[in-house]
Structure formats: structure tokens, C-alpha cells
Chain A
């Protein structure tokens, strides 16, 4: 009976959120090991927590352990700055240079940011300040749906619509190229840019805007000279998040990028770090230098992402401080 009432209490009180900030008195709650069940459950929960950490460690360790041998064999400099990727060449020595992939990933991401950020940021401003509430709500749902669509679906639409269009527009033999990948990536990062920057814009205190309006600034002047600068760290976080998304995407762009290991240029087929892994994996024999080199590419990608995560944390921390 008494437990039942506790359950009711937990579920029906309206002040659940209000008390959430209260500092937990963990030392007080500690009950010691009176009952075996309590001890068992404590150990179980501890195990879960340790497993969660274990997985990250396992991923990092495994990537390093399996990525380093190929780099050692090929040579770090040859691997990172080599311009030729011919892992299966038979008439001459196979070469493992991933500079084309690195540059493609960097250019592709930069292009996607260049298109996606302005559109996303303006959409966010539109949704939070200009759009009529009903319109804003409808677009909001739409953006959420866009965010949830699986990446292969973007790839499919890109492959069927965008690639032939580019082929026709530029009179190419194949429209699968860096440009197509950039557009697909820009569309894919749009929802996260909109969501994150809108949150940042909404967090700007209303007093700032009111003060600016009271001084005679127009609504637009207030928006771009007061609100936006005040939300800049959140917007920066949105951009970094977009970079992370774009650089890690594989399946959508493997379908539109042409998949040729050229040095990148806008209208030729290219390979990204991610697509080099996906497309190489089917051909590389288990344990071969080729396969090990793919793991090394994974390691390079992992380091890129970690760098981006570190940047993101920096922005978020700075936002919290000031």
C-alpha cells in the first residue's frame, strides 16, 4: 500500500521540474549494504556505467590498433600527402595516398556549410522572429521531418533528380560529382543548423531587442545588429555541428559523388574519406594492406571528428560562461 502511494506521489505532483535543480545529497542517501538485493542492484548499475565507458575506449583503442600498422608500412607522410590511390595496382606498386579524399572531404564540407549555413540561419531567424506563428509551427514540423529522413533517401533523390540535372546543365558525361555531393550535404545539414541556431536566437533576452527598438532601430536592424551578434556562440555551435554532420556522412554521398579517387574539382567524380571506406570495404581482402589502409582512413576521420567535437565543446562551454 505505502509503495503504491509513493508511486502516485511521484507521478501526480505538478512541481516535478521545479525541484530538479536541488542539489542531490548523495552522501545522505547512501544506504550501505543492508540487503543483498540492494548490493546486487548497485553492482549491476555500476556495471552498466562502466560498460558505457568501455565501449568508447574499445572504439578508440580498436581504431588506433587497426589503423596504425598500415600507416607505419606506407609512411605517414606518403599516406597523408600522396595524391594517388591505387591499392590494387598490379603492374606497378600499389599506392596509398589519401590526399584526394582529405581534400574532397574538406572542400565538400566547406561547400555544404557555405550553402547550408546562410539558408539555415536565415530560416531560423525567419521562424523565430518574422513568420506568423502558425506558419512557423508548420515549418518547424517540416524541418523535424527533414532531420529524420534517412540519409540513403537523400542519396536516392540526389541520384535521380540532381545528378541528371547537373549532367544536362554542364554537358557532362556523368553528373555524379563534387557539386552534387555538396548540394545533398547542404540539404542534409540544413535541419540541424535551423534547430540549433533557432534555439540560440530564442535564448537572446527580449530586453536587448526592446532596447534597440526603443532607440529607433527597425525590426530588421535589431535582428541583424543586436539579436544575431548576441546569439553568435550558439550559431557557431550550429556551424560546427553542421561540419561534423557533413564530414561524417557516407551513404548519401556515395550515391551522388561519382566515387572516383580524383583530386577534387567541382564537376568531376570524387571520393570522400567516408565513401572511400564504404566503397573499398567490399573489395579489400581481410587482413590485406588495402583493408588496413581503410582502417587508417577511419582513424584519420575519427581524429577529424574528435577535433570538431573539441571545438564544439569549447563553444558550448564559452556560451555557458558568458
Chain B
């Protein structure tokens, strides 16, 4: 190989170093984040904390209500958004005949996707809490999240509906199937991997959301049954983390919650990956 000039060799070496440096910084950052959260959080992750409630009288702190609230809000939001989002996506790819309407709906869902969650929180508070008078609670929070994750569901479903070959549809129709029957027996089964992945990603977003929930679901730390929680202020894990960290100075509890959230994120990422691959093979 011919010899490079000193300048070119220096350039090559500097750039190569910078690339490794950037990769190293990103890696270090990640190792630090995860390591630090586990280091501070795992020792505080005790059974009384996980299974108890916060009470001023008994001077206890427990995050069971927040775990339960997180599950409630996932349930409420997904039950509403799943049929709505999948339905909208099916309409867009299977039924819509007007290109203009499709363009408008796609533009709308894309715009929704870029709006920051604090705006959803603001509008959710205005519409659901003040205008519809639902009070702070799981219902208002869940409905706000529905608007927020609708675009995710619509888009992922649409993408996977588009991968179902047109010939399958034509085959089904040629065999005398009606449109809905074709959608139910051919199109949806063929697209189920994308729909499931979209749902898992949406759940991930719900678990990590806080700004949209502060003034819609509220900050309540009391354990309620489902029907009561719908209409009473209920903090999810992320909101509870915020409350404990910045308003109560309970750093240990905050880090314990952060550990749980980190583990949840990891599980959700892995499940989304596996679900996507596994269902595709079915």
C-alpha cells in the first residue's frame, strides 16, 4: 500500500479517534444511567414498599397504589384506543376510496404524533376535567392518553396492513367473501404482528408518560378500587416518582420507582422485539 501524506494520516487518525470517542461516550452514558439507577434503587426495593400504601398517620411509604393505577390506566387507555386505532387504520387501508380523505387523516395522525405530551395534558385537562367534568382520575387520564397514543396505533397498524399482499384480498373476494369477512379472516390475521408490536410500544409510552397525566389523572397516592379510581386523583408510577423526588424529597423511593420503570422499559423493548418476530413466523 502506498504511503499517505502526514496530513491525511493525521486526519484519518483524528476522525477515527473521535468516532470511537463518541461511541464510548454514548456507551458510558448508558452504563452510568443504568448502573446508577440500579445502585441507588435496588437496595430500596423492599417488599413493604411494593405492597404498602403511603400514610401520614402510620408514617409509611408504599407504591402499591401507583402500580395498580398504572395498570388501570393502561387498561382504560388500551381498551378504548385499540378498537379505535385499528379501526381507523383498517378504514384507511381497506375501505377508503377518496385519496383526499386518506391524505387528510394521515396528515392528522402525523401531526398528533409530533405534539409534546404537555400539550395533551393541557387539552386533556380542559376537555375532560373542566369541560366534561370527569374530575381528576384514571378516566380523564386514560382518555388523554387515548388521544396521545392513537397515532402510534394507527400508524403501526397501517404499516402492517400494507404488508398483506393484495392477492390475498383478491383471492378472498373471488371466493365470494364479503368485505368485512375478508378483513376479519385474511387481512387482520396477516397483520397481527404489527398490531401487537404497536400495542406493546403504546403500553411503553403509557408507562413512561408523566406530563400528560399530572393534571388529568392527578397526583393522588391513595389505593382505590377501579370504579373509585376512575374519578379520583390517582398517580401512576412516573407521576409518583416526580411527586416523591421533587415535592417530598424522598430520593430513595424515587430511585426504587426508577428501577421498576427501567425494568419495565427493558421488558417492553424485549417483548416488542420478540412479538414482532414470533408472530411473523406463525
Chain A contacts of B238 at CB under 8 A?
A: 150, 152, 251
Q: How many residues of A contact B (CB 8 A)?
A: 113
Return the CB mask of B248-277 against A: 1 if under 8 Å, else 0. Answer: 000100110010011001101100000000
Return the CB mask of A19-39 against B: 1 if under 8 Å, else 0. Answer: 110111111111100110110
Chain B contacts of A130 at CB under 8 A?
A: 16, 19-20, 23
Asked if A76 is at the interface of the complex by the 8 Å CB criterion, the answer is no
Total inter-chain residue pairs, C-beta < 8 Å: 319
Q: Does B116 contact A148, Cβ atoms closer than 8 Å?
A: no
Most buried by B among A29, A41, A152, A277: A152
Distance, CA A49 to CA B163, complexed state (A): 20
Distance, CA A280 to CA B209, complexed state (A): 19
Q: Within the complex, what minimum Cβ distance (angstroms) separates B38 from chain A?
A: 12
Distance, CA A148 to CA B67, complexed state (A): 18
- Contact A122 to B115, CB < 8 A, known contacts A49-B92, A155-B242: no
Q: Does B29 contact A218, Cβ atoms closer than 8 Å?
A: no
- For the residues of B in contact with A, the DSSP-based class is helix
Chain B contacts of A37 at CB under 8 A?
A: 178, 180
Asked if B33 is at the interface of the complex by the 8 Å CB criterion, the answer is yes
Asked if B15 is at the interface of the complex by the 8 Å CB criterion, the answer is yes
Asked if A169 is at the interface of the complex by the 8 Å CB criterion, the answer is no
- Contact A22 to B30, CB < 8 A, known contacts A49-B91, A56-B112: no
Known: A19-B165, A120-B26; 11 extra A-B contacts, CB below 8 A, are: A6-B175, A7-B189, A10-B185, A31-B178, A42-B179, A46-B91, A48-B86, A58-B127, A221-B11, A294-B122, A305-B119
Query: Could you tell me which B residues sit within 8 Å of A by CB distance?
Result: 2, 4, 8, 11-12, 15-16, 18-23, 25-27, 29-30, 33-34, 36-37, 40, 83-88, 90-97, 101, 104-105, 108-112, 114-123, 125-127, 130, 147, 150-151, 154, 162-173, 175, 177-181, 183, 185-187, 189-190, 204, 207-211, 214-215, 238-239, 241-242, 245-246, 251, 254-255, 258, 261-262, 265-266, 268-269, 282
